[in-house]
Every structure is written in structure tokens, then in C-alpha cells.
Structure 1
Amino acid sequence: MIEQLLRTPLTELVGVRHPVVQTGMGWVAGPSLVSGTANAGGLGILASATMTLAELEKAILEVRSRTAEPFGVNLRADAGDAADRCRLLIEHGVRVASFALAPKPELIALLKEHGIVVIPSIGAPKHAVKVASWGADAVMVQGGEGGGHTGSVPTTLLLPAVLDALTSSGRSIPVVAAGGFFDGRGLAAALSYGAAGVGMGTRFLLTADSRVPQPVKELYLSHGLDGTVVTDRVDGMPHRMLRTSLVRSLEESSLARRALPTLRRTLEFKRASGMSWRQLAAEGRAMKHTQGRSLAQLALAANTPTMLRAGLVEGDTSAGVLAAGQVVGLIDDLPTCEELVDRVVSEAAARLRRGASYLRD
């Protein structure tokens, strides 16, 4: 385990040793991965969207039993029980609350009142300015190279646009860059742009501390740079995932042919989540309001947790989808979190020193 080599606004804000964030991936970012990242000196983020409230509390306590270092929990701002989940973070002294969508100002205020660092994920410069004006402590920005739900603008363009917008607004806060990062070169580049750290999802999924089944990890490792595809056929929104036979069949099938499987998976998700039809409807209305999804898209969205679980937890790649960033084509090993973080930070520090040598006295 290496000493601190890089001090950035993110390490100062959160109290971690290294400016490396393991993102909150549903079904992947559990206690083992989060605590492994935290013990390695990075910021581990527990994914809570696929957990019930009781499961989330159990997971927080398990992380607490594995590490004394700071960690975070990723929350859905539009979840019907978002306030209850925030109170759970407060009760257990979780250091960071990250959000997939912008939380309401009053929720940010509640968390900050109890010393919790609030880091929403955003996809556009104007959204960064908005959440900064609401009191967010930092933002994570993911470019189109990233896995899961993603936009079309690459990180190399989106990151400077967000940084410039925050500076122009007079509300500069730390920015974590995500989408396309997997090694020290990327971290050095992000810091040179002005970011305070990097977020990595696919790279942490492919570690020894990840509980994704080994055959699924090997499937990821077998894909090249052209091994991912962005499709809206899974949940109605652009979603980057591995290019598999299942994804190809989804893209080729009509809405009518997908209707029955969609209903079946919705029922499976209802049983697994313990939610009532009224709660599902309430969450659907919230998603429609915050994300502008159509009813057809909402029906597809209910499938996503079940299909991701099939692949990432049960290892059934014939029935599950596998979210993946484009960096999957550049990854060829399964290090521990400690080995990964040490390697990324050491290489970044070396690259930055080498870059400084180009300066003339």
C-alpha cells in the first residue's frame, strides 16, 4: 500500500488518500468491493438502487466492519424513499452521498447539515452549475465512453466544458471525471484538465475484489475496443453494454415481441424488491417527471435491475445484460483493489513528474 502521492481538492474534501473513485454500480458495488477500495486509499461507493432499505443498512454495517476508512453510498434522487435512505446515511455516519440524478436542494441541505459530502453525477455543464448553486460539494461527470446510462459527448470535451461553466458561474467545486479511465495515464490527464480525481466503474468491476462471477469477468476480458454498444432497447434510455447475442436479439426484435419478457421481468423485480404496485407506480411517476420518459420506456426501465442481476450476479449471460465502458477493450487482468489503486496512482504521479520536466526554467 503506497503513501499519498497526490493531494487534490477531492482527497481534501473526502479525507481519502488517493483521488480515485470506485463508482456505484448496481449489483457490483457491494461491501467487498467498496471496502477493498476504501482500504486501498480510494473512495468506494456502495450501490443502493438495487437494495431495499433493510439491505442497504446491512450493507453499510458490513462495510463498516471491513474498513475504518471513508466510503460513500450512491442513491437514486427520484426514489420514493430517498429521504429515508438519506437518514440511514446520517445515522451510520457515511461520509459521502452520491446521486445518479440531481437531488432536491432540501435533501442536499439535510445531508450537509450532518457533515455528509454530496456528489451528484451530471451530464451537462448547466446541470453542474445548478447543483453547485444548490450546495453540492462536488460533481462527477461521465463522458460517452462510460458504461451503463451514458450520453454522446466524450469525456475529453465534456470535462473541460463543465470545468469552464463552473468557473464562469463563480461556483467552482471539485469535479470527478468518469468515462474512459482505467490507468495512471488517464488520472494524470484528468488532473491536467483540472479535475480533482477520476471515477472508474468497469476497471473496478474487473478486480479480484469484485463479486461478479469469474466466467462473466472472463467474458468481459475477451472483448475488444469494439466490444460495446449503446442501445435503448433495454430500458428506453441510451445504455452502453457488452455486445452480446442477447443484446443483438433485443436490438433486432420488435416492441411487441419484447412485451411479454418485459412483463415477466417486471413481476420478478416487484417480487425481489418487495415493492407494492402502488410503490412501483409512484417510482414510475417520479421517473417520468424527472427524466421525461414515456410509458413504454418506464415499462422497459423496470426490466433493467432484473436483467443486470441475471448477468452480474447469477452469471447467466443468455438472460442478462452486462453494462460496460469502452475501456473493457484495454483491460487484461484482475488485480486486487489495492494493486489497482497503487498502480494507477504511482503511474499518474510518474507521468505528472515527467510532464513537469518539459517546462523550461
Structure 2
Amino acid sequence: MTGDSGGTGPAATLSTPFTELVGVRHPVVQTGMGWVAGPRLVSASANAGALGILASATMTLEQLRSAVREVRSRTDQPFGVNLRADAGDAADRVALIIEEGVRVASFALAPSEALIGRLKDAGVVVIPSIGARRHAEKVAAWGADAVIVQGGEGGGHTGEVATTVLLPQVVDAVDIPVVAAGGFRDGRGLVAALAQGAAGVAMGTRFLLTSDSTVPDAVKAEYLAAGVKDITVTTKVDGLPHRMLRTPLVASLERSGRPAALLRALRHAAGFKAHSGLGWAEMVRDGLAMKHGKDLTWSQVLLAANTPMMLKASMVDGRPDLGVMASGQVAGLIDDLPSCAELVGRIMSEAHETLRSLAALEAGVAVPGAPTGTG
């Protein structure tokens, strides 16, 4: 890990195996959040020197192609596309990524060895997101170039193991770059992750809460008003542990019985069918793939239709009373909406300040005013 010879301003960099792998200036990733990580946010993240990742699960193939081209029209920096490995058209989406010359393919679930090989043969960097050491070992053995490891603090679908426990397990288990996710917002967190062997950090909620994010202002205000204890984990949206803001709607979902949940899921499945253009046969096919990949019950597969439409209600339509707001616990510490350029520049400045403080500490020099971080 090396820094440049410049100061601690926005241009200060840290070179790690991750930045060298994907060709970005800073070891920071903006994650592929459904309905949030669109062309505007991704290009702003990329122009700030981070790796922006476009979320494609809620897009049709043609919408994805259009989004990729829009990102490219806004930036000449590397960016990635996040894919659902269990989607029925995953192979077609991989072909699109290759045709369009996208630098990075990330996956919410472990992709098959064949998909990894196809992407790598085309020169695409493959970075799956994982939540357990054994999953990291599996995709590394299959040829993944790096992994994003998310601890339980992270938003959306999440596990039970904290980042500080999961990260060193994965770092010790694989010999590819590991990017830490779950609980990060500033330069101090970046340095902490690097100290545990990570090659960078990935952030979702922190990038959602920027001025470049297209999430409606009223929804951003809900996040900014939340405290750490206002962020909960529920299984009532789609049957899987899902970290989100605790709202009156979430409280009502927690109280609802199974018949009401299944009826809601059917309604949302019809809504997603209309939005995506998928036929019922294709949705059933994807459900079968999801059921196999996650070992779900049929009730859970049906409930999965809730996730995209309930997120859309908040993140696109601006109706938190009708939708849910996936969130990392770190939202309780965030109180501002910087641009992506301001955010990344601030993170890197704080990281360098923290590294200098640690170096002085090692040398036995008192350091007044050590960095405190800013939301």
C-alpha cells in the first residue's frame, strides 16, 4: 500500500491491490443498490475516483444497455455492473457487459465457474459479494479476481457476523483482494479496514446519501433523521434477513400474518412483471433458480417479489409510507449530503490524516487534534 507524494487534499491517493486491479484512483467502491445506483450516481462516483457499480437487477436488457452507455457518456473512468447470478438471463447480461466493454462485473450471489471463466476470458474483472468465508473460498477457487465481503452492519440482505469478525477470516482464507463492506462512511473506517488486510472499502448507504443520488429528498431526510437504533433487521419483507430503517410500515409488516404477506407478494409480483416486461413463465424460472441458490421455501420465493417493488416505492416514487428503505447501521451516523467528489475527497483526506496520526503514535509523538471524521 502506497500513497502519492501529494498532500492530503482531494487528490491524495492510496494505491492497493484493488486499485491496481480495477484501475481506479481510490480504494473505495459505491455498491450496486437497486433503484439507487443508476447512471448519475455511478458516473459521479467514477469521476470522484471510486469504483461506481451500476445496479441492473431491476432493469431489462435494453434498459441496462442504455444505462451502461449513459454512464460511459458521463465518464471515461472504470465502472462496474452488478448482476444477479441466479437470473434466468444472466448469460445474456454477461454477454452485454462484454460487448459494451464494462470493466467490472459484480455479483450479489456467487456466479458459476463457467460465468466467471467467460468474463475473465473477455478481460472483465469479476468481483462477487459474499457474506461468509466459505463462499469467498469457493469463488476464489473458481477464478474470481476479488471479493466484496459484507458484515452484518450492511444494509439490505445481510448476515449475522459483524464486519470486524468476518473480514479478517476472509483475508486469511483467500489470496485475492478483499474489499470490506458494512459500517463504513469515512477515512478512519478505510484505514481500519486496510489495517485488517482489506484492499478497500465498499459503501452503499453513504453514497445513497449524497447530492448525486437520485433518491427523493423526502426519503433522504428519513435517513438523515434516523439514529443507530432506528435501523433494524426484519424477515417480513421477503423471508430473508433484511436490514432497513424501522418505520411505521415496517412495524406493520412485523405484525402482519402470513396470508396478508402472501397476498401482498402476489400484488407486488404482478407489479414487477409489468415493470420488467418479464412473463410469468420467466418469473417462475427465476424463482426456481433463486429457490435452489438460497434453499428457500416456496413462500419465501413468493415473498421475494416484495423486495424490488417496496424499494421502488421509496427510492423512486418517494413514498416511504408505502415502501421500505434498505439501510446500513451507519446511517445513524450520517448527517449530510455531500457530492460524490466531496465525499471521496474527504474520505481520502481523513485516511491520510489518520495514517499520519498512527505513524506519529508509533514514533511516540503526541498528535493534537487527531481526526474525528465527519458523517
TM-score normalised by structure 1 residue count: 0.97
Which residue does the alignment assign to 1:211? 214
> Aligned-pair distance for 1:62?
0.3
Aligned to 2:14: 6
**What is the Cα deviation at residue 360 of structure 1?**
4.4
What is the rounded CA distance, in whole Å, between the counterparts of 2:286 and 2:263 in structure 1? Answer: 21
Q: Deviations over 1:204-240 (max 9, x none)?
A: 0000000000010011100001011101100010000
Find 2:248's aligned residue among 242, 245, 255: 245
- Aligned pairs for 1:88-103 (under 5 A) are 88-103=96-111
- Determine the C-alpha separation between the residues in 2 that align with 1:287 and 1:360: 53
Q: Which residue of 2 aligns with 1:173?
A: 176
* Separation in structure 2 between the aligned mates of residue 262 and residue 105 of structure 1, nearest angstrom: 32
Give the stretch that moved more between structures: 256-265 or 91-100.
256-265
Q: Secondary structure at the match of 2:290?
A: helix
The yes-or-no answer on 1:273 pairing with 2:273 is: no
Point out 4+ residue stretches in structure 1 off by more than 6 angstroms. none
How many aligned positions are there?
356
Aligned mates of 2:206, 2:32 — CA distance in 1: 12
1:356 CA drift (Å): 1.8
Structure-2 residue corresponding to 1:109: 117
Match of 2:288 among 285, 296, 302: 285
SS at match of 2:361: coil
Q: How does 1:178-193 map to 2 (within 5 A)?
A: 178-193=181-196
Q: How does 1:292-303 map to 2 (within 5 A)?
A: 292-303=295-306
Q: How does 1:1-361 map to 2 (within 5 A)?
A: 2-166=10-174, 172-360=175-363
- The letter for the 2-side match of 1:207 is T
Give the conservation status (yes or no) of the 8 Å contact 2:262–2:299: no
Return the offset for 1:3: 2.3
Unmatched segments (≥5 aa) in structure 1: 167-171
Secondary structure in 2 matching 1:304: helix
Amino acid aligned to 1:340: L
Counterpart secondary structure, 1:162: helix
Q: CA deviation at 1:4?
A: 4.2
SS at match of 2:362: coil
Residue by residue over 1:288-328, the C-alpha shift from the partner in whole angstroms, topping out at 9 and shown as x without a partner, is 11100100000100111111000110011111010000001
Cα deviations by residue, 1:35-77 (Å, 9 ceiling, x for unpaired):
0000000000000001110100000000000000000000000
CA spacing shift, 1:343–1:116, aligned 2, 3 Å: same
Give me the TM-score of the superposition, normalised by structure 2: 0.94
Q: What letter matches 2:23 in structure 1?
A: G
Give percent identity, aligned residues only: 65
